């Protein structure tokens, strides 16, 4: 026991929103449990039209139509708020976490955040609603949990309500591939020749927009597209100021004395998520609202992006 609650010393992630790319819909979204999508009426109209068409739809095609209807219903009921694109942001820092969704067991995964240059040495602690799922180096964990994906958390500066804020974009699946191609330069997988030049993510700003539709087997999806943009000196200074704020958070985050249990943090996954470690495993009925929100976000995120490849190297 102590006079001081150690939870009070837990650093709070300064990100205003945690964005994710939906490959299926070709849109950037952030989770907000207090909001509903602005296009609900439009989605409801699509559902009504498709439902009415089922009466004249051939039997061989009814399953496909019903699948589309179910996807639209999930989209309508979600709290994933779409962001207008092109979306301009300034990269402040880049971290790594593990997340994803196990469809067969209906559980979402989340883990602690590590520094990008410590991927080969840092320990990941992966959790789900059931408690601890895995702990260890990335090389030893990858492939052992169905649906678990390497995710790059790109901390950014972005403008909302005419003010600069700290945010984060979770890059995984198709968005991670597109991001790596932007940063490292794209190489033709057959000829091994460089298709595009690498870009320094910390130079200027980055503009994200919807890319052209791609086909992977029977799956159609839209990857994001990134281009570099110059910024004014005063904008650069604002980005530096936010980077200092972010670095102070990360300094406290990595210095935080976690307890003995293998509990990670959800702070990199969604703005509602932040779980400190406890000595005993949390029971399902005592899960926090933030844990439940993270699981819902993981489920929607995984289903929205059908391109489930892990690291593209």
In this prediction, residue 8 carries a pLDDT of 58
Backbone angles phi, psi at 69, to 5 degrees: -60, -45
224-240 pLDDT, tens digit per residue, is: 999 999 999 999 999 99
For the range 198-201, what are the long-range contacts, defined as Cβ-Cβ under 8 Å and sequence gap of 24 or more? 199/226, 199/228, 201/91, 201/94, 201/154
pTM: 0.77
In this prediction, residue 312 carries a pLDDT of 34
3-state secondary structure of 138: helix
Q: Residues 157-164: what's their mean pLDDT?
A: 94
73-86 pLDDT, tens digit per residue, is: 887 878 889 999 99
247-298 pLDDT, tens digit per residue, is: 999 999 998 845 433 333 333 333 333 222 222 222 333 444 444 444 555 5
* pLDDT greater at residue 187 or residue 239: 239
Report helix, strand and coil shares of the chain as percent, to nearest 5. 30, 30, 40
In this prediction, residue 269 carries a pLDDT of 37
Q: Which residues contact 64 (CB under 8 A, 6 or more apart)?
A: none
Question: CA-CA distance, 179 to 185, in Å (whole number)?
Answer: 9
| Surface-to-core class of residue 117, CB atoms within 10 Å of its CB (0-12 exposed, 13-18 middle, 19+ buried) | exposed
Backbone angles phi, psi at 150, to 5 degrees: -65, 130
Percent share of the chain, pLDDT over 90:
54
Q: Per mean pLDDT, which range of 71-85, 112-126, 189-203, 268-282 is the poorest?
A: 268-282
Torsion angle defined by CA atoms of residues 102, 290, 176 and 252, in that order, rounded to the nearest 10 degrees: -130
């Amino acid at each position: 026991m102590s006079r001081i609650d150690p939870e009070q010393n837990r650093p709070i992630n300064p990100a205003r929103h945690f964005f994710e790319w939906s490959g299926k819909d070709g849109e950037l979204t952030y989770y907000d449990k207090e909001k509903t999508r602005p296009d609900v009426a439009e989605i409801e109209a699509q559902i009504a039209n498709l439902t009415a068409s089922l009466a004249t739809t051939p039997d061989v095609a009814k399953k496909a139509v019903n699948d589309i209807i179910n996807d639209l219903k999930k989209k309508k009921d979600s709290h994933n708020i779409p962001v207008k694109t092109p979306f301009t942001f300034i990269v402040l820092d880049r971290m790594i976490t593990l997340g994803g969704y196990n469809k067969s067991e209906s559980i979402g995964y989340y883990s602690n955040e590590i520094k990008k240059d410590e991927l080969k040495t840092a320990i990941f602690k992966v959790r789900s609603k059931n408690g601890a799922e895995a702990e260890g180096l990335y090389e030893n964990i990858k492939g052992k949990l169905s649906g678990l994906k390497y995710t790059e958390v790109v901390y950014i500066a972005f403008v909302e309500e005419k003010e600069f804020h700290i945010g984060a974009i979770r890059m995984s699946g198709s968005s991670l591939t597109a991001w790596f191609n932007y940063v490292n330069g794209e190489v033709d997988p057959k000829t091994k020749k460089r298709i595009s030049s690498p870009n320094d993510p910390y130079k200027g700003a980055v503009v994200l927009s919807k890319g052209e539709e791609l086909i992977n087997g029977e799956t159609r999806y839209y990857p994001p597209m990134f281009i570099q943009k110059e910024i004014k000196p005063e904008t650069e200074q604002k980005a530096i100021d936010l980077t200092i704020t972010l670095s102070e958070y990360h300094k406290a985050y990595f210095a935080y004395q976690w307890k003995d249990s293998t509990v990670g943090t959800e702070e990199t996954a969604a703005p509602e998520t932040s779980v400190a470690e406890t000595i005993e495993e949390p029971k399902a009925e005592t899960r926090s609202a933030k844990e439940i929100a993270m699981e819902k976000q993981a489920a929607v995120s995984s289903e929205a992006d059908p391109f489930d490849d892990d690291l593209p190297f």
